[in-house]
Amino acid sequence: MAEPEAQGKRMRPAPLLFEPAEAAADPEHFFDLESIEDPRELLSRATELTLAFRAATDRSVEFQAIAAAQLADPRRFDRLTPADIAERAQWTEDYAKKMVEFGRDLLRRDGSGTP
């Protein structure tokens, strides 16, 4: 799960830029890394992308958890069970229960509903 950054601030990773469709179709092409010849520059850019993907993963997991908590909210007339949520998200039921709790914790911390 996502861990809070020091002093509550999030790192701003390198931006993830969308690749043109023809470049994305080439399995050897990955964010133009294959064209970087200087190993120092390659390491730097690859590291930036790694951090960006990690941050994006953490952030999207938080939003998944919030959505799961909202869908399981007993005040909703159309609430879903953990089994229903698990099926929709392709999780196990136990993981869905943990995500619902994580989402409830996030919602309690930030009353706006946004992590």
pTM to 2 decimals?
Answer: 0.67
The pLDDT, as a whole number, for residue 32 is 83
Task: Using pLDDT thresholds of 50, 70 and 90, give the confidence band for residue 31.
Answer: confident
**Confidence check: pLDDT of 6 > 50:** no
* CB distance 9 to 55 below 8 Å: no
**Which residue, among 30, 33, 92, 89, has the nearest Cα to 65 in the 3D structure?**
89
Average pLDDT over residues 6-30: 56
pLDDT digit string, tens, across residues 33-87: 888 899 999 999 999 999 999 999 999 999 999 999 999 999 999 999 999 999 9
Residue spans per domain, the chain:
37-112
